[in-house]
A = this chain, B = another copy of it.
Amino acid sequence: MSEASPEERVYVEDLREVWAVLTEEDRLAGWRRLPAEERDDFFLELDTSDQAALVLSLPVKERRLWVRLLPPDDLADVLQTVEPSERHALMELLDQPTAREISALLAYEEDAAGGLMNPRFARVRRDSTVEEAVTYLRKQAQDHFARMHYAYVLDAGQRLVGVVSFRELFAASTGSIVADVMEKDVVSVPETMDQEQVATLFAKYGFVALPVVDAAGVMRGVVSADDVVDVVKEEATEDIQKLGGMEALEDPYLRTTFASLFKKRAGWLAVLFMGEMLTATAMAKYESEIASAVVLAVFIPLIISSGGNSGSQATTLVIRAMALEEVRPRDWWRVARREVFMGLALGGVLAAFGAVRVLAWQHAFHSYGEHAELLAVTIGVALIGVVTWGTVVGSMLPFVLRALRLDPASASAPLVATLVDVLGIVIYFNVAAMMLGGSLL
């Protein structure tokens, strides 16, 4: 950890720029050559997986310093990403109280408020004078609260009874006590609350930090808004990847190994393929219709993809609205009613386009023989049916998954398309049989 000599000096902006494409070895080498005063900040700004990799690439005797530099909530995140054996080795580098704090944090579900919070916070007593509180807080080690802005008022049982910002404390008039200046109506978060709900609370109330309490009202830690920014990004990424028809990745795309990326994608792709095999089974039932009117086969991709597209829109809307808590399970009937009419309206538009397409080609190229008008009607009616079916399946599947206690975001666009395709084919050929029976068929 000697000071870097001038010719070896690496500039922090340069290192940041190339970081993503460096090997682990080059990262360590580049980081070591940063000026000493910038090495800390650079390390603290890395994301969890990079912090973990960097610490593990250090010789064992150098690790202690860096592990201790991390705030407890970040350290817990790092420990959660490393192998259990390494986790144990890193825990041994900590002093007793910190090791206890970290163990407590690791016991929480990763997605719960407890797993997100910083267990260190500034506490004051309700009946302290403001002067006492200020003196007490000044004595606390600076770095403990470096980025904190509130002091929490606890009773004798460590239960949260109020909150006061440092600025309110320091602006308070001489002689007043903490109870006079504190806010008694504290918004707090249960330690088991899901982090998505925590994020919703932050967005709603606009606080920079929220206290976390256990079932008995005892204060356990603080979640701050910047942690929540990460959570919101992560949750959106997971939902987007699931919507794309795959398992969510744990690491950034370019840093995920080919093998892991393959596993995350092949699984769902195979499941969808199995489902889609039913289309071949359904189609086989209509081989004789296709044989006598090949023209019917020509429109199959157009018709089933329209069902898939309308279903993709509907499922995307409902999943996102559920994630934002704009739509609740009991709203299913309002959504269903709305989407049926939406499906009919959208299907109507596409039906008009489809029918015009058939008649125009017939007019220009005589593509469809004497029954072109009937074919146009068939395509139109089938489109209305398939698109309506698509919106209904797409909008209701997230509700069904939720009712089954599965993740509504698994109702990916490809899954909906697969479900819609099979019945789409059945709808199409049945409409064709009704319309064209006795003429083309």
Query: Chain A: residues with CB nearer than 8 A to chain B?
Result: 20, 45, 134, 137-138, 142, 145, 147-149, 165-167, 169-171, 199, 202-209, 224-230, 232-233, 236-237, 239-241, 243-246, 249, 252-255, 258, 261-262, 265-266, 268-270, 272-274, 276-277, 279-280, 283-284, 287, 290-291, 294-295, 297-302, 304-306, 308-310, 312-313, 315-321, 324, 326-327, 331, 334-335, 338, 341-342, 345-346, 349-350, 353-354, 357, 367, 412-414, 417-418, 421, 425
Contact = CB atoms under 8 A, between A and B. Distances in A.
Main secondary structure of the interface of A (DSSP, over half): helix
B269 A306 contact: yes
A298 B287 contact: yes
B295 A287 contact: yes
B229 A203 contact: yes
A84 to B, nearest CB: 27
Contacts of A137: 167, 171
Contacts of A320: 237, 240-241, 253
Contacts of A45: 204-205
A349 B265 CA distance: 11
Contact of A252 (B299, B324, B345): B324
Contact of A279 (B209, B305, B315): B305
Contact of A245 (B274, B280, B309): B309
Given A301-B279, A326-B20, A349 B270 contact: yes
In the A-B complex, the 7 residue pairs with the smallest Cβ-Cβ separation, listed nearest first, are A244-B316, A236-B236, A225-B225, A279-B301, A170-B170, A149-B149, A252-B326
Nearest to A321: B253
Contacts of A276: 301-302, 305-306
A291 to B, nearest CB: 5
A290 B294 contact: yes
Given A203-B226, A237-B324, A305-B417, 4 more contacts: A202-B226, A246-B313, A269-B346, A294-B297
Nearest to A259: B345
